């Protein structure tokens, strides 16, 4: 039995995938928001209103350890998304701010958030339908939720 939420759209069969389908000018390593920098989107939102000190970023990002926040900020600085400005004061003061390149991500982020707002219900319904299909029957043993690792 298929579920209307997860059925493929009707239409002609797609063309076969080719080994060279990805644009060589846009390799994965050049993507600005990488999975290992999962906090980057939240950091960008925190810096949207202007420069912030590390301690200010820690307030909304309390679930991020200081080490991971530092690593994320460094990676974003390396990629040109933010600047780090150290002021020669005692105690030292450091501020982080979005660059024009970092600010240019706000539009795509807004679009992704809008997509999420529009489709969250359908996404959650699809997840629930998937879990119902995977649920064991009364006489079946429980299925693992992920494949076993070697």
13 vs 5, residue with greater confidence: 13
3-class state of residue 21 by DSSP: coil
72: nearest Cα among 47, 49, 38: 38
pLDDT tens for 9-34 read 677 777 776 676 666 665 555 565 55
Q: Domain boundaries in the chain?
A: 34-102
Q: pTM for the full model?
A: 0.68
Q: Does domain 34-102 have CATH number 1.10.1040.20?
A: no
């Amino acid at each position: 039995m298929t579920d209307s939420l997860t059925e493929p759209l009707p239409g002609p069969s797609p063309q076969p995938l080719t080994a060279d389908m990805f644009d060589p000018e846009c390799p994965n390593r050049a993507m600005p928001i990488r999975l290992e920098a999962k906090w980057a989107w939240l950091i960008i939102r925190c810096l949207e209103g202007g420069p912030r000190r590390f301690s200010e970023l820690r307030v909304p990002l309390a679930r991020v350890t200081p080490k991971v926040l530092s690593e994320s900020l460094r990676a974003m600085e390396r990629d040109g998304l933010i600047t780090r400005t150290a002021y020669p004061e005692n105690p030292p003061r450091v501020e982080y701010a979005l660059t024009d390149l970092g600010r240019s991500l706000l539009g795509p982020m807004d679009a992704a958030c809008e997509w999420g707002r529009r489709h969250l219900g359908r996404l959650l319904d699809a997840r629930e339908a998937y879990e119902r299909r995977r649920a064991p029957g009364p006489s079946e043993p429980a299925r693992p939720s992920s494949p076993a690792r070697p």
